[in-house]
Structure 1
Amino acid sequence: MENHFANYQIAIPAKFQEKIKKYCRTGGTSVDTFNAPFKRQVDFWFVALCIAFKEGLIKEKVKDTYNATTAAILSNDSYRIHLMYLIALAEIKDENILTDSKAVFDICSEYANAGIPYLIELLDDPDQKPLWNIYDYLEA
């Protein structure tokens, strides 16, 4: 599938930048998978998007952001593009949304914004390593 999001920026709320980097091995401070379970910030962003959608969190627009990467990186894992279109379709319930890649991307970005603090809270649980926290969440 062609990546119609390639020219967009994956913008993440600036107030979470250091926390997100803490849990990512690329560009972060840790190379330990148990403490930094995500390889890249886009992986963190995508999991936050999926969690927010699954949990029914209210989408959130954020103005103070930083550009983590371009959405061209989504081409590396094309299933993410398909899932983003499905999330937008489930949200809007009108197949015409599938022709508006910017609207689809905006919906997904707003879900990710809502999911980021939820995911950080989950990873921050001190009872065990962040990797096991995310595994426990996914298993449940």
Structure 2
Amino acid sequence: MAILTFTGSQHRLLLPDDIKERAMAWVRHQATNRHRTADQAPFRRLIDFWFTAIIWAVRHEIQPADQATGKLFVNLGPNTNDVRSFESWRADLLVILAVHTFGADSPDVSNTRKVIDLANRYAEAGASLLLERLERDMDLALPRLYKVADVLTELVAEGTEKRSDQTF
């Protein structure tokens, strides 16, 4: 299989408006809040939240939405206003997710439009649940970064506990 590039052509990243609005409280770089700290907004960009929502859905075995109904929040691609830097590890994980979902022999695995559509559907499925977990028991005196760290630590501990009796 050829190495896929997600920025060679334009791809739309989507989130529903209500989710995007709630998520922006956790995102640092915005037109109106450029000087927020990581403590106040632990996700550097909305694309970082989007990717975490995908991981949240997969980790919790949530099926992707049947169809992405969200609105565009950014394009991946070669144009000046697009996100042109999509880290290779993110691309690799999306391809692994596509192989898992579509099957290794499916032509969809090498179709970046199909892979991004799958990612958008997983993000849509996981975003509201991720936000619910982040917002649960939120203490205004506690930096949001610590809340994200606590939630991710719990997630790792659950995964470790589930697999502690497995042998390889």
Normalized against structure 2, the TM-score is what? 0.73
Distance in 1 of aligned mates of 2:72 and 2:102: 26
Check conservation: 2:4, 2:110, Cα contact below 8 A.
no
Q: CA deviation at 1:76?
A: 3.6
Match of residue 72, structure 2, among 53, 67, 72: 67
Instruction: Point out the more displaced range, 40-49 or 16-25.
Output: 16-25
Larger radius of gyration: 2
Higher helix share: 1
Corresponding position of 2:5: 3
Check conservation: 1:58, 1:114, Cα contact below 8 A.
yes
Corresponding position of 1:95: 105
Q: CA deviation at 1:2?
A: 4.8
Structure 1 vs Structure 2 CA RMSD: 2.1
Distance in 2 of aligned mates of 1:70 and 1:99: 19
Match of residue 92, structure 2, among 82, 101, 109: 82
Q: CA deviation at 1:74?
A: 6.2
Match of residue 15, structure 1, among 7, 13, 18: 18
Check conservation: 2:76, 2:86, Cα contact below 8 A.
no
Check conservation: 1:3, 1:74, Cα contact below 8 A.
no
Distance in 2 of aligned mates of 1:83 and 1:89: 10
Corresponding position of 1:105: 116
Residues 8 and 76 (structure 1 numbering): CA distance in 2 closer, same or farther, change over 3 Å?
Answer: closer
Q: How many residues align?
A: 139
Match of residue 120, structure 1, among 119, 131, 134: 131
Distance in 1 of aligned mates of 2:121 and 2:21: 20
Structure 1 residue runs of 5 or longer lacking an equivalent are: none
Q: For 1:31, what is the secondary structure of its paired residue?
A: coil
Letter in 1 for 2:149: Y
Residues 134 and 74 (structure 1 numbering): CA distance in 2 closer, same or farther, change over 3 Å?
Answer: farther
Distance in 2 of aligned mates of 1:82 and 1:110: 17
Q: CA deviation at 1:33?
A: 1.5
Percent identity (aligned)? 22
Residues 1:50 and 2:55 aligned together: yes
Distance in 1 of aligned mates of 2:105 and 2:21: 38
Q: CA deviation at 1:93?
A: 2.3
Residues 57 and 25 (structure 1 numbering): CA distance in 2 closer, same or farther, change over 3 Å?
Answer: same
Residues 1:138 and 2:143 aligned together: no
